[in-house]
Structure 1
Amino acid sequence: MDEFIAAIVSFPTVVFTVALLVVGGYWVLALIGGIGSDMLDAAAGKIDGAVDAMAGKVDGAVDAMAGKVDAVAGKLEGATGKLEAVGGKVEGAAGGLSLLAALGFGKAPATVVISMLVLFAWALSTFATLMLRDYGVMAMGVHVGIAFGAVVVAGMLTGLIASALGNAFKRHRPIGRGELVGKLATITTGRVDERFGQANLHEDGANLIVDVRCATPNALVRHTRVVLVSYDAEAHYYMVEPFESKDSIARP
């Protein structure tokens, strides 16, 4: 037990231990309703969008750059070298976006992807540290190698699991005609305002997750029943209002 404690509070595992404590604290707050379980997704949605939206722009930039390089290659060899260098940077950006996609961003919620990545890296680093201590290997270079290897392997495992669970986390965007308007749904986030909120509802045997908004102040919290009153086809979200049953309305 002492060796285990020493391993998780020493470099490199201590880095992952701190990250794991942060992730654990996040999920505790999410479970007790202190924050919405998709709070990080609201911020990480930009990353997920970049994987799809920017990938096309990067590919177009690479193709355009390649065309320019071919056009001036015969006349301006020096300029060609510079353009190739810029093209390499553009391709590097595309590689970065591909890495995010490989980790599972866009296939599973960012909160789940980050949590799995941290948990796997922590477990791998702890195991490797304990194993190498038994053999008396304590060099700093080895510890750096453990950290790097743990992140790489954790990333591979996270990507595989996120891909396998992709269908389970698949979000069904409401259709543009707003056919779900008038349906009842249940709030799944800790709050709902003009910029944030989600709810789920059952339609034709499917459990749908939809983005919702509501003017503030309001009393909407997790598990509140609401009515989808209108649909924004451009922003892909529903405006909602608290649901009051006929019985509750009839009571004095």
Structure 2
Amino acid sequence: MGEFLDHVFHFPTMLFTAALVVVICFWVLVLVGAVGHDSFDADMDTDALSLGGVPVSVSVSLVIALAWTMSLSGSVLLAETGTAQGSHRLLAVVLVPASLFCAWRLTRLLVRPLARLFPDEPGPSRIDFVGLTCTIRTRRVDEGFGQAEVTALDGSTALVQVRRSGLDVTAALALGSTGLLYAYDDAGEFFWVAPY
């Protein structure tokens, strides 16, 4: 155990050990709900590094964990080879970028299948229905009652609560008629509808 800790807390692995401690603390905060796993997505673009498709925190965590593992393995191998002191230091310095490069390459391979678990597009929202036409599914629609069926842009349908302004007396909205959803009321969780 002492030899393991010696490698973990000495150059070059100590650089990645510090970063790994930060990553572990971050994921503990995610587990307790203090931060979201996608907290850094707006701050950094991982597509340029070919690590896109997953949240930044996932790809960076993978790079750091893999670099730490490779650096630790390389440190142990260097210690076992018994190279001269000067050569050992030079190889330890080279081990840092080599570990990062290998970790980046492995992370690129790992994020491709993981990207399916993190879709790019946000889920559907009620606001997406504003501006669409609907078919009234109740006998009447007034300020306090009404339902309509609306078809989303992806082809799915939903039954939504609709209300009609008391000031709008143009045409009746009855069962089977077509209406236009022109606004959404967050407090009442319904759409304002007008004859179409």
Global fold match (TM > 0.5): yes
Amino acid at match of 1:161: L
Note the alpha carbon deviations across 1:16-54, whole angstroms, 9 max, x for none: 00000000000101110112221112322xx25xx4xxx
Aligned to 1:64: none
Deviation of 1:168 after TM superposition, in Å, equals: 1.4
Note the alpha carbon deviations across 1:108-153, whole angstroms, 9 max, x for none: 1100000000000000100110111011235221001111111111
- Residue 121 in structure 1 maps to residue 67 in structure 2: yes
- Residue 166 in structure 1 maps to residue 115 in structure 2: yes
Aligned to 1:39: 39
Query: Alignment RMSD, CA only?
Result: 3.0
Structure of higher CA gyration radius: 2
Amino acid at match of 2:75: T
Q: TM-score, normalised by structure 1?
A: 0.48
Give the structure, 1 or 2, with the largest relative contact order (CA under 8 Å, sep 6 or more): 1
Amino acid at match of 2:100: V
Deviation >2 Å, runs of 4+: 171-177
Deviation of 1:174 after TM superposition, in Å, equals: 5.1
Q: 1:8 to 1:159 in 2, by over 3 A?
A: same
Counterparts in 2 of 1:48-63, with a 5 A limit? 48=46, 51=47
Structure 1 residues without counterparts, runs of 5 or longer: 52-96, 181-203, 205-229, 232-238, 244-252
Aligned to 2:128: 178
Note the alpha carbon deviations across 1:64-113, whole angstroms, 9 max, x for none: xxxxxxxxxxxxxxxxxxxxxxxxxxxxxxxxx3xx1x2x1x21110000
Counterparts in 2 of 1:13-28, with a 5 A limit? 13-28=13-28
| Contact 1:3-1:130 at 8 Å conserved across structures | no
Give 1 or 2: higher helix fraction: 1
Structure 2 residues without counterparts, runs of 5 or longer: 131-155, 157-182, 190-196
Aligned to 2:97: 148
Deviation of 1:179 after TM superposition, in Å, equals: 3.4
| Contact 2:30-2:37 at 8 Å conserved across structures | yes
Deviation of 1:173 after TM superposition, in Å, equals: 3.2
Looking at structure 1, the residues matched to 55 and 78 of structure 2 have their Cα atoms a distance apart, in angstroms, of 35
| Contact 2:41-2:55 at 8 Å conserved across structures | yes
Q: TM-score, normalised by structure 2?
A: 0.60
Aligned to 1:130: 76
Aligned to 2:133: none
Looking at structure 2, the residues matched to 34 and 151 of structure 1 have their Cα atoms a distance apart, in angstroms, of 29
